[in-house]
Amino acid sequence: MALTESTMVPLGTACPDFTLPGVDGRLWSLHDFHCPALLVVVMCNHCPYVQSVDDRINALAKAYAGRCAVVALNANDAVTYPDDSYEAMRARARAKGFVFPYLWDEEQTVARRLGAVCTPDFFLYDSHRRLAYRGRLDDNWKDATRVTHRDLKEAIDRLLAGEEPLEIQHPSMGCSIKWRS
């Protein structure tokens, strides 16, 4: 497992349009999300960094329902990493009780257009779908009981309150995305 930090895509970057299949059997597009904020999470099943925080992502989606839509996508090469296959995604979403759409970016195009490089990688967009935050979830991916700063939550709160984005945004870190060669 190689630790990779997210790239710091410029704030104000437009969210790429997408249409991807969800584990719920439906096609989802950018235009399906009508909340004032949209959080796009690039994640997968097998990464220990994601496994450590996916309950926190789910809790965040529940806490901000109706105000900040959450959508996750998996772009990992499922041939090389079968734990990240569409079928495995369906099983994980069911087992974890995800309340957000979990999408399969099989062609890896959306993750590339986002500028994602690791799992998890977080991209928070405003009502115009311009990037307002890209960075870490919080300051302790290993242990939720030791978190002292919830960066992403603060960014969502500021965005919903009409405040300026966080001045300092720390990159997320996790496993590198498993790109097809």
The answer as to whether 169 is a domain residue is: yes
Q: Quote the Cα angle for 118-97-133, to 5°.
A: 35
pTM: 0.95
Q: Residue 143: which pLDDT band, with cuts at 50, 70 and 90? A: confident
Per residue in 146-166, pLDDT (tens digit) is: 999 999 999 999 999 999 888
The answer as to whether 101 is a domain residue is: yes
Q: Residue 110: which pLDDT band, with cuts at 50, 70 and 90? A: very high
The answer as to whether 5 is a domain residue is: no
The answer as to whether 114 is a domain residue is: yes
% residues pLDDT > 90 (the chain): 85
Domain with 137, as residue range(s), is: 35-176
pLDDT for the residue numbered 27? 98
Per residue in 46-93, pLDDT (tens digit) is: 999 999 999 999 999 999 999 999 999 999 999 999 999 999 999 999
- For the domain that residue 142 is a member of, what is the CATH number? 3.40.30.10
Number of compact structural domains in the chain: 1
The answer as to whether 116 is a domain residue is: yes
The answer as to whether 54 is a domain residue is: yes
The answer as to whether 56 is a domain residue is: yes
* 97 phi/psi in degrees, rounded to 5: 70, 40
What angle, rounded to 10 degrees, do the helices at 48-63 and 151-160 form?
30
The answer as to whether 21 is a domain residue is: no
Q: How far apart are CA 130 and CA 116, in angstroms?
A: 16
